[in-house]
Chains A and B, each alone.
Chain A
Amino acid sequence: MNQQLLAKTFVELADNLVADFDLIDFLRLLTDRCVGMLGASAAGVLLADRDGELRVMAASDEQVRLLELFQLQNDEGPCLAAFRTGAQVIVPDLTREIDRWPRFVTAAHRSGFGAVQALPMRLRDETVGALNLFHATPGPFDPVDAPVAQALADVATISLLQQRSSARSTVLNEQLQTALNSRVLIEQAKGKLAERQNIDMEQAFTTLRGYARAHNRRLSDVARAFIDDSEPLPGLLV
């Protein structure tokens, strides 16, 4: 683990957790840094909805295949285990877990992943979701990385409580609901932009995020304005 990179990442994350940050944008940054700093091949943040269903809030790649791999874990997999038990689930070699999670291991293998970690997102006595890290090659994880990964999961939890729209509410339920709804909004905007521009879902996401950043706007505000056609958004469509 590169100490300088570690320090830089936490400074960057803290910097982004200021008054007017956008939750989805922030969580995407966090998953990107999981990939860069922890040597993961892919990362995702999953939150449980009111029915206890795990839903993807952010992923280091928005392609359908990766999102499906996260969603699949509503039936079986390390994320579900971490969410249900509130404990870390570390799997250095997925092939050894084929009996435990046959569908998940097969799908992960097909996507080129050999090892996985799931870190619970805990808030007081409750587990609200999990941070999921995928690694291409099996092998033992660096013991130094484990607490860092858990710290990143904790930062993701904190960011939920810091959303602007929830400033009026201290009710966890309501904050989760707001978070899940902003993810739905982003998916709708991705679909519209992908179809309009004939690009894929990952490109649609990065285009929307790039536009929001370049114009110093919140991602969800841009997504909303784009869906509603309520303002011109010059330069978003080429």
Chain B
Amino acid sequence: MRSDSRSARIQVLVAEQAARRGARVGVLDVCTAAVAALPVGGAGVSAMSRTAASHPLCSTDTISEQLEELQLTLGEGPCVDAFTHGSAVLTPDLRTSQLQDHWAVFADAALEAGARAVFALPLQMGAISPGVLDLYADVPTVLGTEELADAMAFADLATLLLLDARIEETGAPVDGVLLERGFEDLGGYRAEIDQATGILTVQLGVGIDEAFVRLRAYAYTQGRRLADVAADVVAHRLRFSPDAEPTRTDEET
């Protein structure tokens, strides 16, 4: 990753929040860093799923907490729409009749709670979509081009953190350094990473989220770059199996 890139800058902001808290980097740090960097009053992340129950993961203040809970309880609101459509939902002012019709209950409840502008950014990488990042402001607010790009970069980082939190469940030895180290190899988009993730769903018989977690866990434990591991999977030099360790073959098939 270029050290001057937006993603690199956002990662530093998030890591600083974690350092201040004296904890490992998590989605809460994305929220607090986003509040510090953007013209918003609070932020929250909810874990969302098409097949399982959705639940709030964290929030920076009580208004954010209420917004997360309201949407998941009511089943409507920007966060629900962002998840369903896979695109950001930007609401500069909740107090417009059109929105009050669209989110009949949520709009009034959110205004009551103290929110005026609400922005929902889906956490996603193709078909992988573990949740939504919600931001609110207590006055009508339009996010500028740069601010929106930053908000999306915060959402990208939150996506990885949510998935990385599951790496430990795979049995990979995660020490404190690994999560920080892991972001280094994400710069420079490689189509092979996405293709390899698709390939692993078949080789391991798992869903797409899990396939990505396992690919990253393997790269961690081997101390290799994710892109290199992915290239090996695509070229059939490396094969995963549900009941055994991945096997390397030197020959391309």
> Cβ of A173 and Cβ of B198 under 8 Å apart?
no
> Cβ of B201 and Cβ of A173 under 8 Å apart?
no
> Cβ of B187 and Cβ of A51 under 8 Å apart?
yes
The A183-224 residues at the B interface (CB cut-off 8 A) are 184-196, 201, 223-224
CA distance A49 to B89 in the complex (A): 19
> Cβ of A187 and Cβ of B86 under 8 Å apart?
no
CA distance A168 to B128 in the complex (A): 22
In the complex, which residues of chain A have a beta carbon less than 8 angstroms from the beta carbon of B201?
191-192, 195, 227
CA distance A196 to B188 in the complex (A): 28
> Cβ of A174 and Cβ of B191 under 8 Å apart?
no
Interchain CB contact (< 8 A) of B192 among A64, A177, A228: A64
The A131-176 residues at the B interface (CB cut-off 8 A) are 165-166, 168-169, 171-174
> Does A16 touch B at the CB level, under 8 Å?
no
What bracket does the count of chain A residues touching chain B fall in? 35 or more
> Cβ of A188 and Cβ of B188 under 8 Å apart?
no
> Does B138 touch A at the CB level, under 8 Å?
no
Q: A12 → chain B, closest Cβ, in Å?
A: 27
B interface size (C-beta, 8 A)? 41
Given contacts A53-B188, A228-B50, contact A174 B88 (CB under 8 A): yes
In the complex, which residues of chain B have a beta carbon less than 8 angstroms from the beta carbon of A52?
2, 5
Q: Return the CB mask of B113-145 against A: 1 if under 8 Å, else 0.
A: 000000000001111100000000000000001
CA distance A177 to B151 in the complex (A): 12
> Does A122 touch B at the CB level, under 8 Å?
no
> Cβ of A71 and Cβ of B87 under 8 Å apart?
no
> Cβ of A195 and Cβ of B152 under 8 Å apart?
no
> Does A56 touch B at the CB level, under 8 Å?
yes
> Does B7 touch A at the CB level, under 8 Å?
yes
Q: Return the CB mask of B164-205 against A: 1 if under 8 Å, else 0.
A: 000000000000000000000001111110111111111100
> Does B90 touch A at the CB level, under 8 Å?
yes
> Does A178 touch B at the CB level, under 8 Å?
yes
Majority SS of interface residues in chain A? helix
Interchain CB contact (< 8 A) of A184 among B89, B126, B152, B202: B126
> Cβ of A64 and Cβ of B234 under 8 Å apart?
yes
> Cβ of B189 and Cβ of A228 under 8 Å apart?
no
Q: A186 → chain B, closest Cβ, in Å?
A: 8
> Cβ of A188 and Cβ of B2 under 8 Å apart?
no
Given contacts A67-B191, A188-B126, contact A195 B1 (CB under 8 A): no
> Cβ of A185 and Cβ of B126 under 8 Å apart?
yes
CA distance A194 to B153 in the complex (A): 31
> Does B148 touch A at the CB level, under 8 Å?
yes
CA distance A184 to B122 in the complex (A): 15
> Cβ of B234 and Cβ of A50 under 8 Å apart?
no
> Cβ of B127 and Cβ of A227 under 8 Å apart?
yes
In the complex, which residues of chain A have a beta carbon less than 8 angstroms from the beta carbon of B125?
181, 184
Given contacts A51-B1, A51-B187, A224-B127, contact A174 B87 (CB under 8 A): yes
> Does B31 touch A at the CB level, under 8 Å?
no
The B181-239 residues at the A interface (CB cut-off 8 A) are 187-192, 194-203, 207-208, 234
25 contacts between A and B (CB under 8 A): A51-B1, A51-B187, A53-B188, A71-B190, A165-B86, A171-B90, A171-B148, A173-B145, A173-B148, A174-B152, A178-B86, A178-B87, A184-B126, A184-B194, A185-B127, A187-B198, A188-B126, A188-B128, A188-B194, A190-B198, A192-B202, A193-B198, A195-B198, A227-B201, A228-B207
Give the 9 A-B CB pairs with smallest separation, nearest first.
A191-B198, A187-B194, A184-B126, A191-B195, A192-B198, A185-B126, A51-B5, A195-B202, A188-B198
